[in-house]
Chain A
């Protein structure tokens, strides 16, 4: 078994182990062990990857493996990773691991909860290792469908509505994706070769420009819906608000990253001409999303909605950077994906901690929580500051790269767009400081005077996330270095 396939096999084995385990104690221990192994494997993967690069392996993808699956259609199980995928795999394992800690006390159908969570995670891991469009698409759908059960069974509020909306919008997006993938596949023989689903084989082919113009929007929108592209972002606030804590973490932290990653890895890579043709159109949508998300976050009263709209805005920056199409911006986009993953997971985890004690998420009903739950409060401040891009945390590094990259375009259109995007940071500061001020500062609301302390499992989960946020903030060059090496072949293909 190769080092990459294990990332799908271990979760599947964990699922089987969960099926035969009995009682909530066994369930969570099994889930924890499974994902501790997975996390250790991701560290090992990064180590192996760096070794491989140090040994002088300059291939775009390393640890590649290619098995013929459906021969008549040239479908392969083809996998491989570069610097970006190994970091994304690390992000996923860490967030699932912390999500398991945060869900320590799930009492309703715990076995099914962990199984759904881990099935979802296995789809995400598969997505990050695939280099064959068919395999990628299969894993994408595996990652989406467990959300329906996770939100529908363990959610709060209008959970059925949210679950249905989210599932249908994301599966509708995958329908667009499918048309795009088939369009690429049947044009991959344009230079006279065999039809192929392998993105690296396709990228060498000169797909006719007319076909690129036709199919690029399918692939772009198909991926961007899960990356919360305006006006297809509406599933995200409802979904996040209704989802249980661990699911919000995983969804905002990892699943929404599939969008930016897919656009980077597939849409822009196989159809560079299409990307250039459509870039400005999508930039306009993206900038609307960035500003709209930020402004909407100001008006919200529910903590989860605030964070969800904040995610729409911050992930808009990822798409924004990708559409700027230069190496610095792309490096920023990938750093932003990583950094936002950890930050938003931390925010959602803390919202879960607060909600678990106060049983409300409405900010006007809470005051002075810092006095009663100081650790959670302090961590929430850290998450907020990291989110608004304070130097020393990961958000700053990522956004810095994005805007430096964006300012390299000297024409008026890009300048205006970039300035608008930068201004969203100010708005971010407004809503974050407002929330922190309202719920954490001041005299404590009487009924919340005696809230239970933060439990060990919540502490463990959140501390791990803070650690990574700080690590990216303090050692940006280490992370940025891994990413920028891997961005180069993709940006070269574009020009």
Chain B
């Protein structure tokens, strides 16, 4: 290994540098100037995001444990942009509370550390590496979920998240060791084609899958989702619902499509059932929610069901459409959470009925909310429609018309509850609506980027073409 090889980890190295600078800055900035840490962190991360777009060589490190290719590089950039948006939206929340002020540095350090874990996660080509990076990505988030220590719900969210994460890691490790027992290696390459059909390997697959299903919050491993999303600070819920979920989907896809391809006849029916369950349960529970964060939690559970539907086609089209959908989903959900956070910060209100008459007092933010929700529901010409359409196409291409039919029925159900929010904000009037409020410049920039992305990513087809070209690397 030499310096030029090390540059394959450029994303990770720059991020570590950012974290180190932040730690030092956090020490040297006086308590009363803590707000400055915000600007340092956002600035540094913006630079990091820009550096990320510089093309990267392809190659492997640590004997093949860590790889970089254009697919991974592209996905890391998507994650970077997502995290940048999340921290842009978090600034005003961090500034608001003097108690939080003192821990501003901590917030950024933890969130970047978790992102570092995600980077290693999607680059890993070895189960041990996969496990370590999964832990690195999860532990900081559990601390973040409990960030508002004096808020009982936040502490509860932290405990819930760490307990379920520990449980899922345990199951995951056990599945991993079973796969090791059957295949004799922890490297993806060495395992590919050497697993064979046996009860042992199937049990390994199921447990490995269950471990990741916790992160993606697939039914029946979704129980922690609503409570944690509701209790955790909104930026953290936002992070969990997009960055954490999409990285887990990404690595699940790589392992299923490539390494565990032999067990296709097992995991395809498994995904089929889980996809249907996840869509229905996510949607039916979302119908009844009043709290918007719980509402978005169940909506994100349902979205995971759609992703699984696309994934079980297990071909090139499936890979491209899943990644395309993830990229769009990240923006849509960040938009929705961003608005919820801005409103809750200004008024302390988080229930759907509180949004009655929002359009008449705050038209711009209501529009952004509508666009984000329509993107989640899949209404053209907003990007979410294209993402969903390609997922259906992937599933229908393999003849799963029944599943596509079930999915479109679910889209109609989901449209109902997304429209409930739109109805509150646009159709209803209220005696005491949420008064007009101004958001800070960071929130504005973040939400504007989201809106532009939501129109651009769908209508501008070269973005999909690019994803389609990089997924050829998977060789499926």
Q: State the A residues within 8 Å of B (CB).
A: 69-73, 134, 137-138, 141-142, 145, 148-149, 152-153, 159-160, 163-164, 167-168, 171-172, 175-176, 178-179, 182-183, 185-186
Contact = CB atoms under 8 A, between A and B. Distances in A.
A152 to B, nearest CB: 4
Nearest to B427: A152
Contacts of A153: 426-427
B412 A172 contact: yes
B320 A164 contact: no
A179 B409 CA distance: 11
Contacts of B381: 138, 142
B97 interface: no
A160 B412 contact: no
Contact of B419 (A141, A148, A178, A185): A148
A171 B410 CA distance: 11
Contact of B461 (A71, A159, A168, A178): A71
Given A70-B465, A73-B393, A159-B427, A182 B419 contact: no
A161 B53 CA distance: 48
Nearest to A163: B427
B426 A168 contact: no
Interface residues of B, number: 33
B397 interface: yes
Given A159-B427, A186-B397, A168 B404 contact: no
Nearest to A152: B427
A175 B408 contact: yes
Contact of A182 (B396, B409, B428, B464): B396
A164 B422 CA distance: 11
B413 to A, nearest CB: 9
Contacts of A178: 389, 392, 404, 408
Contacts of B422: 148-149
B318 to A, nearest CB: 12
Interface of B: 317, 320, 374, 379-381, 385, 389-390, 392-393, 396-397, 399, 401, 404-405, 408-409, 411-412, 415-416, 419, 422-423, 426-428, 461, 464-465, 468
Contacts, number: 82
Given A152-B426, A152-B427, A159-B427, A69 B461 contact: yes
A160 B374 CA distance: 18
B374 A149 contact: no
Nearest to A175: B408
A152 B424 CA distance: 11
Contacts of B380: 137-138, 141-142
Contact of A176 (B408, B419, B427): B408
30 contacts: A70-B465, A72-B464, A72-B468, A73-B317, A73-B390, A138-B385, A141-B379, A141-B385, A142-B380, A142-B381, A145-B374, A145-B379, A148-B419, A148-B422, A149-B422, A149-B427, A153-B427, A160-B423, A168-B415, A171-B411, A172-B409, A175-B409, A176-B408, A179-B396, A179-B408, A182-B392, A183-B401, A185-B393, A186-B396, A186-B397
A175 B411 contact: yes
Nearest to B408: A175
Given A69-B461, A138-B381, A171-B412, A179 B419 contact: no
Given A175-B408, A182-B393, A167 B415 contact: yes
Contacts of A137: 380
